[in-house]
Structure 1
């Protein structure tokens, strides 16, 4: 009761201040000034003219309270993480986890935001952030708090609502995703993005604190991101806690590399003509013995800080070649495995000799190892060592894949110079290609260019059967993505290969679109 009485007193005090000192007092200023002159003459009029506007301005500033004391994001103008935590903390304690009264924590993050930064530059990324914040505000109510959490992530504290349940939150999350999915226009370019959403219902959060609410929502977001782009997840107590990325993680990453905790998982690539497996891509994954699976975005920055990209490359390469040997021994047909090579590795003058030695050691033909190089590396490379390494590996017989095609502005001359065998069409062009005519036209143009240059093509990030079917009709020869299979540890690949071979018998050939 004491708490309720205190709240009532504070509410009454704010009402009185708003009435007697609020900005609406400006409407009565002429009458006040006339009364001051009538009863007190010029001296009183002068005092009133100075004091009253100052009081009004002060009241306006005071009414904003915490907002002025909280730093704002320079791009979106939104308050930051600390403000959101304090807001959630106050309201969580006030409602005591009552679902019918509590405000809800929700976190939404633009998928592959760092990739958008690389593709459209800082100015383009900032424009996307500003427009995204406006779209979120357009969906939420005026009293809901929206905060910027950095790197394309936004936090939301919903004001008290009469009904907070799972279905309501899923519908709201879907509306937010739909708002963000509308095309952006940046410098004449039409950009399509997706976003993942995580939220925490009050009754499921173990501790009634702002930190606990936000941590729960971010754990749900991490689970959504593990499920693929444009996913939505609600927090459950069975979820792993959110993993932070302090600098102290660097030493742990070093140990993880040496102890075998970081190893490749394999994502299939298949033919759009037959459905047959045409290769795997080896992707670095960390299975922590206590924290569980840690996403690449969490540990790769620590690897970069420690200068361990070359060591990571050695670990991935060794495990990938070992996998090929084991598949061969089991009688499973895997034509090739694609391994990503970082700029640090490509700048190593001894890279060619090292790879040739590894292939000889495993007694594998060079065509079994596909070298994946980011388009950005090819587009900007003035390094003779990089050029020499890629050219030498191509001459040796290793296929060269140009990854994230469409994001790095590689010229046709560079594609020729690096002897590229296949271009991987970035998922930003693949997203909703089955329903968006502009996407279809863009992909068709890329495929026409590739055909004229004699290059194979692979669509990355294929998330739906519709996208798969449309890419096949347009003439894309290979696809890779969650609609085919998620990345999997080596131990699960054998069963997947066998099952895929069984499906091929009933796999209908998809008609290609006429020229």
Structure 2
């Protein structure tokens, strides 16, 4: 379809033919009838009115940023068109441009927390803050539900240093709490940047996609991250790609093994559980932990294959401990969101438990924060409810990192709350963290739940957590994750040390 260029409404503005927009069809009919009934003057007057409406409501005008309200519905094609024009203008004048893709961190969690209408209000306020930071000649376009593309007009100096300075100013514009739905929200934003000379191709589509790739990389690195697009992937991205290609063969070769990290009870000191974690004996990179394995794991059947393989290794280990007379408590398993949303999760768990002649009450399913904010939250809740009904223990992880899903806690019969390392670190010195952990422990007691602190790194942290009422501990201060072959010796040493500890006799009232 041809495009018309309308002069006098901002440099480089581009429009679809105004009269081909379907929402203007009633106006066109009215123009024709006015000419038929009232003559040429009425027809001309109404035609001018229709042209004004067409311009005032055109998507291109919203894309141009001239008078547009930031945060309106997405107009990705308009962003690509503006970039095309900027690249052409820059090519003729020897200037360069840049594209920045900006969005709030953890948009899915914000959407679930606020609901659609308030989330839209938040995005519009973010758009207004960002728009106020730009020059008059720059453009800003909303390209999807939660991201804006900022398109810089051609300039002599869009280098990396200047882009970083601009990115910091954009982030600072959103640091002040945003009023939404009667509350003030502090939102962090991530940014991906593509300079015109680094774009994979000299057109708007390629440049916008490159900036989006950089934004995805930034979002994966945590809140407030900034990343520049480069045609050469960064070393960590190259490593992830290599590992992803090697995972299928590693699973078949048995290189990815189940390792176990003990959990102890602060009431008795005995082993109250073990968490199973995948570890990869990589021939070149050494021992890789669960975070790196899951980050490299491509979506699809391999997620199930890895989970199923690790679960079966863990259940076989649990059966062996029981047969040898070791009391190991719960077996904790963290399932990825793709597994928690599978419609046959409960059936598969039952088949696996029956195959090893184990009771469901020995299995603890750890629900992480990313599963709580998963788009298919209904299926996650359904599966957890069914797992609780057959006797599995449900544990909620990630407290303090987002909204607490009260309804999910109730319906899934959550029996244990896990405190993350972010709350545990330096708790022996940070009084504010002590208050938070004490509040969580009191809440758990009131709900008849137990608490587990993970990532405990020192004896002083252990002692403070015990004082604050945390019932179970896990971390390097207790033991590092270990393969099955080392668990027996560790449990024996721990029990011997426990038995050698003098006990203070309990005084009973008479």
| TM-score normalized with structure 2 length | 0.55
- Name the CA distance, whole Å, in 2 between partners of 1:284 and 1:343: 24
The answer to whether the Cα contact below 8 Å between 1:196 and 1:224 also exists between their aligned partners in 2 is yes
- Name the CA distance, whole Å, in 2 between partners of 1:230 and 1:338: 31
Report 1:421-432 matches (<5 A): 421-423=416-418
> Which of these residues, 208, 211, 216, is aligned with residue 217 of structure 1?
211
- Could you tell me how far 1:145 is from its partner in structure 2? 1.8
The answer to whether the Cα contact below 8 Å between 1:114 and 1:151 also exists between their aligned partners in 2 is no
- Greater shift in the superposed pair: 82-91 or 68-77: 68-77
* Distance of aligned partners of 1:424 and 1:439 in 2 relative to their CA distance in 1, 3 Å threshold: closer
> Which of these residues, 169, 186, 202, is aligned with residue 175 of structure 1?
169
> Which of these residues, 129, 141, 145, is aligned with residue 147 of structure 1?
141
* Distance of aligned partners of 1:15 and 1:176 in 2 relative to their CA distance in 1, 3 Å threshold: closer
- Could you tell me how far 1:227 is from its partner in structure 2? 2.2
* Distance of aligned partners of 1:480 and 1:230 in 2 relative to their CA distance in 1, 3 Å threshold: farther
- Name the CA distance, whole Å, in 2 between partners of 1:187 and 1:63: 29
Match of 2:352 in 1: 354
* Distance of aligned partners of 1:366 and 1:188 in 2 relative to their CA distance in 1, 3 Å threshold: same
Report 1:44-63 matches (<5 A): 58=51
SS in 1 for 2:153: coil
Match of 1:455 in 2: 450
1:80 matched to 2:75 = yes
Match of 2:407 in 1: 410
Match of 1:109 in 2: 103
- Name the CA distance, whole Å, in 2 between partners of 1:423 and 1:222: 29
| TM-score normalized with structure 1 length | 0.54
- Name the CA distance, whole Å, in 2 between partners of 1:365 and 1:17: 67
* Distance of aligned partners of 1:445 and 1:97 in 2 relative to their CA distance in 1, 3 Å threshold: farther
* Distance of aligned partners of 1:410 and 1:69 in 2 relative to their CA distance in 1, 3 Å threshold: closer
- Could you tell me how far 1:48 is from its partner in structure 2? 8.4
Match of 1:497 in 2: none
The answer to whether the Cα contact below 8 Å between 2:140 and 2:149 also exists between their aligned partners in 1 is yes
- Name the CA distance, whole Å, in 2 between partners of 1:93 and 1:265: 56
- Name the CA distance, whole Å, in 2 between partners of 1:67 and 1:90: 13
- Name the CA distance, whole Å, in 2 between partners of 1:265 and 1:152: 38
- Name the CA distance, whole Å, in 2 between partners of 1:85 and 1:479: 53
Q: Deviations over 1:95-146 (max 9, x none)?
A: 1398x72221111232221222223322232222222222221222333222
The answer to whether the Cα contact below 8 Å between 1:223 and 1:233 also exists between their aligned partners in 2 is yes
The answer to whether the Cα contact below 8 Å between 2:84 and 2:204 also exists between their aligned partners in 1 is yes
Unaligned runs of 5+ in 2: 12-38, 238-243, 267-272, 281-291, 320-327, 456-460, 477-481, 487-510
Unaligned runs of 5+ in 1: 1-9, 19-45, 244-252, 286-292, 326-332, 461-467, 485-489, 495-515
> Which of these residues, 67, 72, 88, is aligned with residue 60 of structure 2?
67
- Name the CA distance, whole Å, in 2 between partners of 1:388 and 1:229: 34
* Distance of aligned partners of 1:195 and 1:410 in 2 relative to their CA distance in 1, 3 Å threshold: same
SS in 2 for 1:150: coil
1:314 matched to 2:308 = yes
C-alpha root-mean-square deviation of aligned residues, in Å? 6.2
- Could you tell me how far 1:449 is from its partner in structure 2? 1.0
The answer to whether the Cα contact below 8 Å between 1:78 and 1:147 also exists between their aligned partners in 2 is no
> Which of these residues, 388, 391, 400, is aligned with residue 390 of structure 1?
388
- Could you tell me how far 1:232 is from its partner in structure 2? 0.7
SS in 1 for 2:190: strand
- Could you tell me how far 1:317 is from its partner in structure 2? 3.2
Match of 1:41 in 2: none
- Name the CA distance, whole Å, in 1 between partners of 2:104 and 2:307: 28
* Distance of aligned partners of 1:181 and 1:296 in 2 relative to their CA distance in 1, 3 Å threshold: farther
- Name the CA distance, whole Å, in 1 between partners of 2:443 and 2:10: 69
The answer to whether the Cα contact below 8 Å between 2:332 and 2:366 also exists between their aligned partners in 1 is no
- Could you tell me how far 1:88 is from its partner in structure 2? 0.9
Aligned residues: 389
- Name the CA distance, whole Å, in 2 between partners of 1:380 and 1:412: 13
SS in 2 for 1:140: coil
- Name the CA distance, whole Å, in 1 between partners of 2:178 and 2:10: 43
* Distance of aligned partners of 1:80 and 1:49 in 2 relative to their CA distance in 1, 3 Å threshold: closer
- Name the CA distance, whole Å, in 1 between partners of 2:107 and 2:388: 29
- Could you tell me how far 1:208 is from its partner in structure 2? 1.6
SS in 2 for 1:199: strand
> Which of these residues, 354, 366, 371, is aligned with residue 372 of structure 1?
366
Report 1:247-258 matches (<5 A): none
Report 1:216-365 matches (<5 A): 216-239=210-233, 260=251, 303=300, 313-315=307-309, 317-318=311-312, 338-340=333-335, 342-344=340-342, 348-349=346-347, 351-355=349-353, 357=355
The answer to whether the Cα contact below 8 Å between 2:96 and 2:157 also exists between their aligned partners in 1 is no
- Name the CA distance, whole Å, in 1 between partners of 2:261 and 2:220: 17
* Distance of aligned partners of 1:183 and 1:96 in 2 relative to their CA distance in 1, 3 Å threshold: same
* Distance of aligned partners of 1:403 and 1:119 in 2 relative to their CA distance in 1, 3 Å threshold: farther
- Could you tell me how far 1:231 is from its partner in structure 2? 1.0
Match of 1:89 in 2: 84
- Name the CA distance, whole Å, in 2 between partners of 1:229 and 1:264: 32
The answer to whether the Cα contact below 8 Å between 1:375 and 1:409 also exists between their aligned partners in 2 is no
The answer to whether the Cα contact below 8 Å between 1:337 and 1:370 also exists between their aligned partners in 2 is yes
